[in-house]
A and B are shown apart, each in its own frame.
Chain A
Amino acid sequence: MNDPYQVLGVPESATDEEVKRAYRELARKYHPDNYHDNPLADLAQEKMKEINAAYEEINKRRSGGGGRAGGPGSSYAGGWQQSYGSGGSSVLQQVRAAIQVGDLARAEALLNNTQDHGAEWNFLKGAVCYRRGWMDEALRYYQTACQMEPNNPEYRRALNLMQGGAAYRPGGEPFGTLCTGNPCLTLCCAYTLCNGGYCCFI
């Protein structure tokens, strides 16, 4: 295991409070909600495990090798269950299995061969689009799924997370193009003399 202090990015001399703050910031960054349906979710999950282990190790060392002192050591560990295991018809179950293993082409082919475009179909279509990076269409399929079945928690969660519920930004600032202050004054134009920073024929 790597040096737990290095993992959390704090010096060994850090106070308990500083360790906790560093841990919370990292846990927010790699939180499963921040990587929901993300094709790189497996890498984030690894990170999260490493951070949890480092935090628990530091707590163990600081409490003299005994139990944990002062912290919810693995409070985020349980969140990583993006299971696509439940579901209705067997074709849609196959779609979920294909998404689970990252075979988007198969998932898409199965969906396109399905006649019944119900709520779950729209939800899964959205999940495939999201993983492909087709974010506009993903959002629209999720919206349709939620309109068709407003009380389904799985569809609702996907839609809510996409509508900006959990996006991480350092320091807890709001995340979004329209949340930004005056843009004109602060863009980097320092190098415009070397050819304007613009491609001259575009």
Chain B
Amino acid sequence: MFGYVRPPLDLPEEERKRFGRAYCGLCHALGERYGTAARFILNYDFTFLAILLSEREEGPVHHGRCAAHPVHGRDRLESTEALALAADESVILAYWQARDGVEDHDWLHGLKYRGASAVLERAYRKAAALRPDFDEGARLQLKLLAELEREGCSSMDRAADAFAGLLQRAAQAVDEPVRRRVLEQLLYHLGRWVYLVDAADDLKKDAASGNYNPVALRYGLAEGVWTEESCRSFAATLDHSIHMMATAFELWDFGVWTPILQTTLYAGLFRVGKAVLDGTFRSRENKRETQERST
């Protein structure tokens, strides 16, 4: 995924540290299960997934050093079933997205995707053997998405549905029926929101390269530039997904994770969405991409 789901910084210190422990815990789980190279797929979205799948209590914390924090080290969650599940599902998702990137680009531009999928190949095979249902689902949904993109599908709901359905499957291993229903709805709309925000973030880039962009097609945007009305309508559809996530979230007790999830859902997502619509979200990244294009 893409790193859009992040909690706001105005969380209390204690909660920010808790988020950090989950982040470092997931990083460690990736390293432990798949080797150091797999750690590079870590991002905020996968941490959020790990938190959603976690038990209500936090579990034991370990203080340790790592390559990113060699001196002072960091506190991290000891590996739990939820971290293991999130790590496995992250590897599967990252692998299929990299494969997708290989297919979508010519030899030269597909290099970085080919590199990523080669690095992940062994990790992927292990993860797919551990979570065959999720792997099968991810493959199907991404294949469907690739077909829709090739057709130039102009329904952004349909395109987003393929990705949302994929993320929804991350909850299928949950046994408790109410919890599973809540997580399925939350993850579906999280997937929809991530897919649409990512498409909005790529508007200008896709307009320049001629790549498929469901948001540009839906609103008929020229050069990837918003009109005031289309921007308002798009923000409303993002809000509908956030509303569905929030209403699902309120129907299950997420224990110690409640404050992080609550502020992310009721504040963090709005802010990321606004920054993407303002064009301020990825100014750093965009600069890098522009440089790459001009060289």
**Interface residues in chain A, defined as those with a beta carbon under 8 Å from any beta carbon in chain B:** 29-30, 34-35, 38-40, 43-44, 47, 129, 132-137, 139, 162-164, 167-170, 173, 175-180, 183-191, 193-202
Q: How far is the CA of A12 from the CA of B36 in the complex (A)?
A: 52
Interface presence of B207 (CB below 8 A): no
Interface presence of B125 (CB below 8 A): no
Q: How far is the CA of A168 from the CA of B239 in the complex (A)?
A: 12
B158 x A134 contact (CB < 8 A): yes
Interface presence of B82 (CB below 8 A): no
A134 x B157 contact (CB < 8 A): yes
User: Which listed residue, A29, A133, A176, A196, touches B244 by the CB 8 Å rule?
Assistant: A133
In the complex, the chain B residue whose C-beta lies closest to that of A173 is B266
Q: Which residues of A contact B285 (CB under 8 A)?
A: 198
A133 x B274 contact (CB < 8 A): no
Q: A34-B247, A38-B244 are in contact. Are A193 and B218 (CB under 8 A)?
A: no
Stretch at the interface among B37-45, B55-63, B134-142, B144-152: B37-45
Extra contacts, 8 of them, besides A47-B250, A199-B2, A199-B97 (Cβ < 8 A), are A35-B247, A135-B192, A178-B235, A184-B275, A194-B24, A197-B3, A197-B6, A201-B97
**A–B pairs, 8, beta carbons within 8 Å:** A39-B185, A135-B192, A135-B240, A169-B246, A177-B238, A187-B9, A200-B40, A201-B98
B6 x A187 contact (CB < 8 A): yes
Q: A169-B266, A188-B6, A194-B68 are in contact. Are A199 and B1 (CB under 8 A)?
A: yes
In the complex, the chain B residue whose C-beta lies closest to that of A129 is B157
Interface string of B241-274 (1 = CB under 8 A from A): 1111011101100000000001000111111111
User: Which listed residue, B68, B192, B240, B250, touches A30 by the CB 8 Å rule?
Assistant: B250
Q: Which of B148-178 contact A (CB under 8 A)?
A: 155-158, 161, 164, 178
User: Which listed residue, A40, A162, A164, touches B182 by the CB 8 Å rule?
Assistant: A40
User: Which listed residue, B23, B68, B241, B268, touches A135 by the CB 8 Å rule?
Assistant: B241
Q: Which residues of B contact A162 (CB under 8 A)?
A: 240
B270 x A195 contact (CB < 8 A): no
B41 x A199 contact (CB < 8 A): yes
B247 x A44 contact (CB < 8 A): yes
Interface presence of B232 (CB below 8 A): yes
Distance from B231 Cβ to chain A, minimum over Cβ atoms (Å):
8
Q: How far is the CA of A136 from the CA of B246 in the complex (A)?
A: 18
Q: A44-B251, A188-B7 are in contact. Are A133 and B164 (CB under 8 A)?
A: yes
Distance from A179 Cβ to chain B, minimum over Cβ atoms (Å):
7
